[in-house]
Amino acid sequence: MSDSLNNKYDRQIRLWNTSGQADLSNSRIACFGANILSAEVLKNLVLPGIGSFHLFDSATVTQADLESNFFLTKNDIGKLTSLSICTLLTELNPEVQGFHGDFESVKFTPSFFKKFSIVILCNQSFQLLSKVLDICWDLQIPVIDCVSNGFLGSLHTYISEHCVVESHDVPTDDLGIINPFEEILSYSSKYFKSENDDSSRNEIPYIIILIKKLQEYKSNNDGRLPTSFKEKKAFKDFLASDSYYSGNDNFNEALENSIRYLSAPSINSELLNIFGNDKCKNILSNLNKLNDIPFWASASALRQFYYSKDQGNLTLPINDSIPDMHSSTFHYTNIHQIYKNKFKADSKIVHSNLIEILKQLPPTYPTFDISLEKTELFCRNARNLRVISNQKPVFITIGTSQLAAATATNSQHTPDSTTTSQGSSNPDKFKSSCPISNSLIIPKLEFSQFDLPEALLSSLYAFRSINSHIFTANNCAKSGITLDEIKGENSNINIENIVSEICKNLHSPSMEYTNQNTIHLNLGNTSTADVAAGNGADTSDDDQAIDLISKVTQEIMRSRGLEIHTTSAAVGGLVAQESIKMITNQYIPSNNTTLYDSIHGSIYSV
C-alpha cells in the first residue's frame, strides 16, 4: 500500500492493520435494493475504502423518494435509483469503483456470485433472500439481510462457517512462571538477588522474583506447586517473608501478581471446541467439509503442538509480549527479547507441523503457500481464535387459504363488501391486483422466551413478508387501493389479522421444536388469541403477550414500510460494521439477529 493511502486510512489501519485494509481494498460488494438503507450502508463502506460495489435495483427516482432520501435531488427524477446513488457514492472516495444494474441483469448462478466478497440485501423480500442463500451458502459468501421500517431496523448475517484469527479480544498473559522455559529460568537465576543496593534491587522485574521464589517453594515442598487457594496464600506469605526486596516497587508488584500467575495455563472453551472438532483432529479425512483449509490446517498444526509431549506439552506457544512492569530498561528489553525468541521458536515448530499437513493434501487441491509470518500471526492469536458455525435457515410457507382466512376475519365490520369507495374495498379485487394471494415465505423463528425484542422481530418479519404487496405505493396505486384504505378500520383487509396469522405460523407447535420450553404463539384473531407454552403458561402471560404483539403491530403499521433516514443511517452503520468484520476476518461478528429500536434508543440481540 502506498504512503498516500497509508496516510489516508491511518486511523482505521490502527483498528484492523494493513492486512485488514488490504482485504477491504480487494473486496467486491453486491448490494440489492437502491434505497435509503443501501445508500447509508454503502456510504459507510466506500469511505473506509472497499474495492468496488455493485448496486442492483430496477426502480426509478420519484418525487416521493426526494422527500426521504437525502442522497437524491430533483435532477434524479426519472433516472434509475441505482445509477443516481452509485454516482453520488463514488464521489466520496475516488479509490472505490461503483457499478449499477437492474434486477434483470442479475444471474442467479454460482459463477455470477462467486466474484463477490459479500452480498447485502436492503429491504428486500424473503423470496429474494432464499434465492440468494441457495447459491451463496455453499460458496461461503456471507449474506447480510437488513431492514429499515419506520423507527425500527434489523440485520442478520447468514454464513455456514466463519473463522476468525484476529478477534482483538483482551489478550491473556501467559508468562510461563509456574513452568518456566530454559532461557527465562537461566536469566532469572543469573540476576536474582544479584544487586547490593536498594535502587538496583528495585530494578529487577517481578517476573524474575516470582520465578525464583516459586523454585524455592517447590524445593521446600517436595517439588509440588501450590494448587489450592490455601497453598497459594501460603506461597504469598512465603514471598512476603523475604526481606531482600521488601518495600520496593518491584516486590509489591510480585506480591500483587503472585496468586494470579500460580494457575496452570489453560485454553478457553472456544479453542477447546476447535481442537475437539473433527475438522481439526482428522483434517485429511474431512477435506470435503472444509470451507477454510488454511485456518483448519493451522489449527491442526497448533493442536499437534499443544498435545505433543516433545513440543508444547499441554501449553500453547508462549506470548511474544509482556506486560508493563517496574524495571530498568536493561532488564525489560532483555526479558522481552527472551520471550520474543521463545515465541518465534514455538511458531517455527507449529509451522513445520503445518507444512507436513499441507504436503499430504491431494494433488487435486490448490497449493496453499502459508508463510511463517502468517503462522506467527495465528500463534499470536491462538488464545482468542473463534469459529462461528450455523445451520442453513429454514423458510416456512404461508399459503393462500391461510391468508384469505386472515383477511376475511374482519369482513363483518364492512357495511358493503362489494363497494370500492374510499374507506372500503373489495377483497377479491385486492387479492387479484396485489400478489398477496400468492404463497409467502418467512424464515423459521424459534424463541425460548417472548418479550419486546421477540415481538418486534416477529412483527417485522410478518410485515416484511407482505411489504412489497401491500405497503408499496406503486402496487397499491395500480390496484386502485389507497394506503388510507388499507389502514382504515372498516376495511376488509385488516393488516393486523394478516400479521397475526403469520405470527401464528411462525410459532406453530406443528413445527417440531426440539426445545420443550419453546413458546408457541397462536395469535389468530387478536380478540381470542392465546399463548401456549411447552412448560405451561398462565392467562396473565397470555394477555401480556397478546397486548405486546398488538402494540408492536400497530407501531409497525404506522410506518407502512417506509424508511426514516435517521433510522436507516443507524442501521446502515451497523451493517457496514458487520460487513467489515466479515471481509477482514477480524473482530467477532454478531451471530444473532440485531434489532435497532430508535423509539427506546435500544439495540437487542435475538
Q: Which of 550, 493, 494, 555 is nearest to 521 (CA)?
A: 550
Name the grid cell of 88: 453520488
Res. 559: pLDDT tops 90: no
pLDDT of amino acid 115: 95
Confidence of residue 473 (pLDDT cuts 50, 70, 90): very low
Instruction: Name the pLDDT band for 81 (thresholds 50, 70, 90).
Output: very high
pLDDT in tens, 297-340: 999 999 999 999 999 999 999 999 899 998 999 999 999 999 99
In this prediction, residue 367 carries a pLDDT of 84
d(CA 560, CA 472): 8
The Cβ-side half-sphere exposure at 569, using a 13 Å CA radius, reads 7
Q: Give the burial string for 105-139 (b: 16+ CB within 10 Å, else e).
A: ebeeeeeebeebbbbbbbbbbbebbeebbebbbee
Chain centre distance of CA 107: 28
Taking 50 as the threshold, does the pLDDT of residue 488 lie above it?
Answer: no
CA distance linking residue 268 with residue 274, whole number of Å: 10
Name the maximum alpha-carbon separation found in the chain: 105
Query: pLDDT tens across 84-105, in order?
Result: 999 999 999 999 999 999 999 9
Averaged pLDDT for residues 471-500: 43
Looking at the chain, the whole-number percentage of residues with pLDDT higher than 70 is 78
- Using pLDDT thresholds of 50, 70 and 90, give the confidence band for residue 71: confident
Mean pLDDT (the chain, rounded) = 81
Identify the pLDDT of residue 65. 85
Q: What is the pLDDT of residues 192-218, one digit of tens each?
A: 877 666 677 888 899 999 999 999 999
List, for residues 491-537, the tens digit of each pLDDT value. 334 455 555 555 555 544 443 433 333 344 444 433 323 333 334 44
Tell me the C-alpha distance between 291 and 159, whole Å.
11
CB-CB contact of 132 with 143 (8 Å): yes
Q: Are 302 and 378 in contact (CB under 8 A)?
A: yes
Distance CA(604)–CA(606), nearest Å, equals 6
Query: Counting Cβ atoms within 10 Å, is residue 96 exposed (0-12), middle (13-18) or buried (19+)?
Result: buried
Sorted by sequence, the CB contacts under 8 Å of residue 51 that are 6+ apart come out as 24, 25, 26, 27, 28, 96, 97
Question: Does the domain at residues 3-150+566-605 carry the CATH identifier 3.40.50.300?
Answer: no
Give residue-wise pLDDT tens across range 391-440: 998 887 765 555 555 555 444 433 333 333 333 333 332 232 333 435 67
Return the pLDDT at 425. Answer: 33
**Eight-class DSSP state of 286:** -
Which contiguous run of DSSP H or E holds residue 389?
A: strand 386-389
157: number of Cβ within 10 Å: 25
| DSSP-based three-state secondary structure for 247 | coil
Q: Per the structure block, which three cell numbers stand in for 89? A: 457514492
Best CA proximity match to 136, nearest among 45, 50, 26, 32: 32
Name 522's bridge partners: 530
Rounded to whole angstroms, how far apart are CA atoms 35 and 47?
Answer: 18
Using CA atoms, how far apart are residues 561 and 406, in angstroms rounded to an integer?
20
CA 319, 348, 268, 517 torsion-angle sign: positive
Mean pLDDT of 102-111: 93
Query: pLDDT class for 263, splitting at 50, 70, 90?
Result: confident
What Rg, from alpha-carbon coordinates, does the chain have? Answer: 31
Supply the pLDDT for residue 479.
Answer: 32
Whole-number pLDDT of residue 449:
75
Work out the angle between the directed axes of helices 539-559 and 495-506 (0-180°, nearest 10): 130
Structural domain boundaries in the chain:
3-150+566-605, 182-262, 269-388, 395-561
Q: Among 52-66, 202-216, 451-465, 574-588, name the one with the lowest average pLDDT.
A: 451-465
What mean pLDDT is predicted for residues 32-61? Answer: 95
Which residues, other chains included, contact 124 with Cβ-Cβ below 8 Å and sequence gap of 6+? 32, 33, 145
Q: What is the pLDDT of residue 513?
A: 37
The residues that bridge with 415 in the sheet, in sequence order, are: none
pTM above 0.85, yes or no: no
**Amino acid residing at 13:** I
User: How far apart are the C-alpha atoms of 440 and 399, rounded to whole Å?
Assistant: 7
Say if residue 480's pLDDT is above 70: no
DSSP single-letter state for residue 522:
E
What's the CA gap between 517 and 106, in Å, rounded?
43
How are beta strands 395-398 and 594-597 bridged, if at all?
unpaired
